[in-house]
Structure 1
Amino acid sequence: MSSCLFCKIVAGDIPADKIYEDEDVFAFHDIGKQAPHHFLVIPKIHIASLNETNDAALVGKLTLTASKIAKDLGFADEGYRVVMNCNDHGGQTVYHLHLHCLGGRVLSWPPG
């Protein structure tokens, strides 16, 4: 989608602090970080929200990519949180499926 912020990031039209990229996914540091480590993992194809997909392999790849990056960045053993916000009441602000990975501090529950 030409107006989607994350599609523009994937296309290279908007810069991002990239951590990882392969043929299916793109990961980058969140500009509004909520923890010492806070990055997003997104599919390269536009999917508006979790409600808009039934691609279990892709959703699984987003999760496994987050785990790999947490290990690579050295905070996996202490622990981290993986979150997908869905639609307005779930706190989704960018309508392109994305996974948040947060770590580097003790995270409280409930989240908010």
Structure 2
Amino acid sequence: MHCLFCSIAEGTSSSNTVYEDTNTLAFMDILPMTPGHCLVIPKRHVRDIFELGDEDAAHVMLACREVAKRVKEKLEPLGINLLNNNGPAADQSQFHFHIHLIPRYGRDRLLHPWERSYGNPDQIRTIAEVLRGERELPRSE
């Protein structure tokens, strides 16, 4: 199966590269949410965070930090969002692990795609216990 991001990493598809090392590549997003929106990828094909190994995870995060420093210094955003989508329900459109690095410029009108509200404290506590392995997730029948 053809992977656009593998082609970019191999140099057979073009991109506007902003950072590259042995294991990772960062390039400009062609559908930028704000000016300076970059994608950071492992060069090796990894479908999503669930397939991402420890070494690749470390390399990608170090590359994100380097690109973020460059963006902050050169573009002077007021903040930066890192965003990663995994699976169709999370709006993953390219099935090669990647992190969006999105500079934020105050009145850029970019909104989070979800509304935030306080959660139910009992549910929050129960889910934390499930994630720590202290209990099973209650199933409704």
TM-score, structure 1 normalization: 0.86
Residue aligning to 1:30: 29
Distance 1:18 1:110 in 2: 27
Residue aligning to 2:93: 93
CA pair 77-67 structure 1, distance change in 2 beyond 3 A: farther
Structure 2 counterpart of 1:62, from 37, 60, 63: 60
Q: Which has the higher contact order (CA 8 A, sep 6+)?
A: 1
Q: How far 1:37 moved relative to its partner?
A: 1.7
Counterpart contact for 2:77–2:104, Cα < 8 Å: no
Unmatched tracts of structure 2, length 5 or more: 115-141
How many residues are paired up?
Answer: 110
- RMSD, aligned CA: 2.0
Counterpart contact for 2:37–2:101, Cα < 8 Å: yes
| Match runs of 1:43-58 below 5 Å | 43-53=42-52, 55-58=53-56
Distance 1:91 1:56 in 2: 24
Between the two proteins, what is the percent identity of the paired residues? Answer: 29
Structure 2 counterpart of 1:110, from 101, 109, 112: 112
CA pair 87-64 structure 1, distance change in 2 beyond 3 A: same
More strand by share: 1
Counterpart contact for 1:85–1:92, Cα < 8 Å: yes
Q: Deviations over 1:41-84 (max 9, x none)?
A: 0001000111222x233213212212211212325773200011
CA pair 57-77 structure 1, distance change in 2 beyond 3 A: farther
Distance 1:70 1:19 in 2: 11
Residue aligning to 2:79: 79
Higher Cα radius of gyration = 2
1:7 matched to 2:9? The reply is: no
Unmatched tracts of structure 1, length 5 or more: none
Distance 2:78 2:112 in 1: 19
Residue aligning to 1:17: 16
